[in-house]
Amino acid sequence: MRLSGDWSASEQLTGILLVDQKGEETNHSIKLANGLPVIEESCAEASPDRVDTTRTLIDSLPFTWDDILMPFLQWTDITYLGPDRYIGRPAHRFVLANDEAGELPAKVIVTLDEDFAAMLKAELVDQDNQTYKRIRIGGFKEFFSGWMFSELYWEDRVKRESVRMEVDAFEIHQ
């Protein structure tokens, strides 16, 4: 699986390229303009009102576009919980509350690296205060273009499914 992105201040294109054991490729991508999904290119009849970023992206993988795009990072109701440590790094924990009452996640507990402000872990919590999904970084690696996470884990705690993504290349295009 290859996750790629092309982002600017007003527009974002994110894609996933899946290569099966036979070498056949399937591409899924979504385009966002000003933070709103406008087209899902893998959908034959894509239109702005048909993009559902909360559904499972690919049947065999337990994550959604929202899991990849992490829209909760744009929420404004933020509470600082205090200092923490994660994968040996000094960090800070925050609670981000969902402005939309009754929507999932109700809140997200985010752990940010102290030095780089990089997200290290996010726990998606429901209205009963139970973690139902978790996204976490497994480590960092220096690539030609700079530092990037080397592993990323998506865990669906309800279904007891997880995906581990290993980063083998990272490049920043100027």
Answer yes or no: do 56 and 94 share one domain: no
Phi/psi at 67 (5° precision): -65, -35
When divided into structural domains, the chain yields a total of: 2
* pLDDT of amino acid 23: 73
Answer yes or no: do 174 and 110 share one domain: yes
How many other C-beta atoms are found inside a 10 Å radius of the C-beta of residue 153?
14
Q: Read off the pTM.
A: 0.71
Q: What is the pLDDT of residues 137-148, one digit of tens each?
A: 888 888 776 777
> 58, 28 in Cβ contact below 8 A?
yes
Structure tokens at 41: 């290119």
**In this model, does residue 99 exceed pLDDT 80?**
yes
- Of 68, 98, 127, which residue is a domain's last? 68
pLDDT band at 60 (very low <50, low <70, confident <90, very high): low
For residue 174, give the 3-state DSSP assignment.
coil
